[in-house]
Amino acid sequence: MKTRSRGRHRPAWAFRWIAALCFAITFGGCADTPKLEVPLTEPQQIGWAAVVRTNTSVARPIRDFVLRHAPYKQIDTKTGKPNERIGRTPGSACEVIRYLAALAASDPADREAVRKAEELARWVIRLQETDRSSAAFGGVPSTPDLPMPANRYFYTIDAGFCGTAMFSLYDLTKNEQYREAGLRFADFLLNMHSGRNRPYSRSAGLPDGFCEFVVVVGPQPAWNCDRHVKNLIALPVLRRAAQLTGKKDYEMAAQSARTFLVEGLSGAWEHADTEAVVACETPTCSHAWRRVPGPKEERDYFVYGDTLAYALRGLFEFEGASSAVRTLYAQFAAYRGKDEKTRKYDGRIAFAGYLHPKSQSPDPLSAYYDVVTLGILHNLRRAVNADHYAAADSVLRNRLASTAQLPWRMGFDFNFPTDVAIDLTTLANIGEALTLPPAPARN
């Protein structure tokens, strides 16, 4: 199971819990890379627009499964019971809300989907920090069912998921409580980017990313301020908040984060190191970027496939099918297998769990597709590459749609392991992909 970065600026107790937390949080796993040949600034301005969706019945098994099991994060394939070591998670619940809102928009008669989406939203809102003096105001704890202090970690990516979900549900129902909850998530994101009391800020006027998380236990909060590329997923939330309120701070933070984080995305990096970023006095900080260690602890070796997918989705939903989105997607989808174990890998379908940017290939030791990435990228592919959309859609409808017992990973031969948990975030993204129109038949 994937782990995330360990961060800094935390009291001693936080170190004792970080291993358990990193196990609990799953969002789905150094050489030069090709340079981006398009401008990284001046993204086009687009509004928050609903996508026309069809074919809701094909996702029925997934729909029924998430209606029964959300907000739990993982379900055991053999027992049908939730993984209590992780418990219920708002990040996964919000991806389910997003899916159910899309499903209900396509099929207004599906009142059960709306009822479940609102039930999940009320649960998430009850978790939301409402104390304006708290460093976590507007955020939600990532793993609220775990014991203290592991239940007091507030992640940026969860606010990105949940802000999007709340605004989607507001658009569907016109219920003001979802609008207000979405704006509180945007306030949390603003604080994680440029809050007055946030540590490890860059010099005034320089672009910056978001802190990864804040832990709120005891007299002082503990911060991890590594700037993770995946948090591009939060940009549409800030954009929507600016549109709803007219407040410029939201849009300014979104533009700043875009400028900073797209540099990391273009190099297929995971995150920028806190100390290196703070010491960097230029707009770009090429020396600050880091990747996941390799199988022999090689420095800056892997990037997670879902990191690239979430970052691309956030950028696409922020600025549409821009030249940067098209170029970056094409760059990562072009990775190919380089040995016998990975020769069947096809980046048009999904991204591997672990990717090796130096060789532009998937990791042969793990050798699996991260299934969630097919769902995350499906609407983007529909907009930028018809061939890729058709290739992914064929696997989606012929291999993934027929069962809700869908593991979060799949072999490059499209076979599934039998000992892997069912992941609700994966199901939500695959379900949402199935509500998009089928790809046109190819000759």
As beta bridge partners, residue 227 has 272
Mean pLDDT to the nearest integer, 216-236: 97
**CB 4 within 8 Å of CB 231:** no
Q: Please tell me the distance from the alpha carbon of residue 63 to that of residue 387, in angstroms, as a whole number.
A: 27
pLDDT of 126 over the 70 cut? yes
Of all helices (H) and strands (E), which one includes residue 188?
Answer: helix 176-194
| HSE, side-chain direction, 13 A CA sphere, residue 164 | 30
In the prediction, which pLDDT does 418 show? 85
Peptide bond into 71 cis (omega under 30): yes
When mean pLDDT is compared across 265-279, 295-309, 414-428, the lowest value belongs to 414-428
Phi, psi of 320, deg, nearest 5: 75, -165
Residues 391-443 have pLDDT tens digits of: 999 999 999 987 767 899 999 999 999 889 999 999 999 999 999 999 987 65
Phi, psi of 398, deg, nearest 5: -95, -20
How does DSSP classify residue 358? T
Query: Domain for residue 226, yes or no?
Result: yes
Q: Please tell me the distance from the alpha carbon of residue 161 to that of residue 184, in angstroms, as a whole number.
A: 13
Q: Please tell me the distance from the alpha carbon of residue 342 to that of residue 413, in angstroms, as a whole number.
A: 10
SS3 411: strand
Q: Please tell me the distance from the alpha carbon of residue 361 to that of residue 357, in angstroms, as a whole number.
A: 7
Q: Please tell me the distance from the alpha carbon of residue 214 to that of residue 172, in angstroms, as a whole number.
A: 31
**Which stretches of 25-144 are assigned E, i.e. beta strand?**
74-75
Using a pLDDT cut of 70, give the percent of the chain over it.
86
Residues 135-154 have pLDDT tens digits of: 999 999 999 999 999 999 99
SS3 41: coil
Query: Domain for residue 345, yes or no?
Result: yes
Query: Domain for residue 388, yes or no?
Result: yes
Distance (Å) of CA 404 to CA 27, 40, 119, 302, 374? 18, 39, 21, 30, 16
Query: Domain for residue 386, yes or no?
Result: yes
Q: In what order do the strands lie in the sheet with 303-304?
A: 303-304, 354-356, 361-362
Query: Domain for residue 64, yes or no?
Result: yes
Of all helices (H) and strands (E), which one includes residue 271?
Answer: strand 271-272
In the prediction, which pLDDT does 406 show? 87
In the prediction, which pLDDT does 55 show? 52
More reliable by pLDDT, 55 or 58 = 58
Q: Which amino acid is at 164?
A: T
Query: Domain for residue 5, yes or no?
Result: no
Mean pLDDT to the nearest integer, 337-342: 94
pLDDT of 265 over the 70 cut? yes
**CB 385 within 8 Å of CB 360:** no
| Six token digits for residue 197 | 């009391």
**Residue range of the domain that includes 424:** 12-434
Query: Domain for residue 268, yes or no?
Result: yes
pLDDT-derived band at 51, boundaries 50, 70, 90? very low
**CB 65 within 8 Å of CB 404:** yes
Within 10 Å of residue 399's Cβ, how many Cβ atoms? 17
Domain count, the chain: 1
What is the radius of gyration, based on Cα positions, of the chain? 20
Residues 356-397 have pLDDT tens digits of: 999 999 999 989 999 999 999 999 999 999 999 999 999 999
In the prediction, which pLDDT does 313 show? 98
In the prediction, which pLDDT does 54 show? 52
When mean pLDDT is compared across 31-45, 158-172, 287-301, 427-441, the lowest value belongs to 31-45
Q: Global pTM? A: 0.89
pLDDT of 83 over the 60 cut? yes
As a whole number, the mean pLDDT across the chain is: 88
**CB 29 within 8 Å of CB 370:** yes
DSSP string computed for 15-31: HHHHHHHHHH-------
Strands 303-304 and 422-423: unpaired
pLDDT of 13 over the 80 cut? no
Of all helices (H) and strands (E), which one includes residue 383?
Answer: helix 372-384
When mean pLDDT is compared across 32-36, 168-172, 269-273, 326-330, the lowest value belongs to 32-36
Q: Which of 330, 331, 372 is nearest to 351 (CA)?
A: 372
For the chain, how many helices (H) and strands (E)? 14, 13
Query: Domain for residue 440, yes or no?
Result: no
| Six token digits for residue 73 | 């994060």
SS3 419: coil
Q: Which of 421, 414, 406, 398 is nearest to 61 (CA)?
A: 406
When mean pLDDT is compared across 73-77, 193-197, 287-291, 415-419, the lowest value belongs to 415-419
As beta bridge partners, residue 213 has 155, 224
Kindly report the CATH number assigned to the domain that includes residue 83: 1.50.10.10
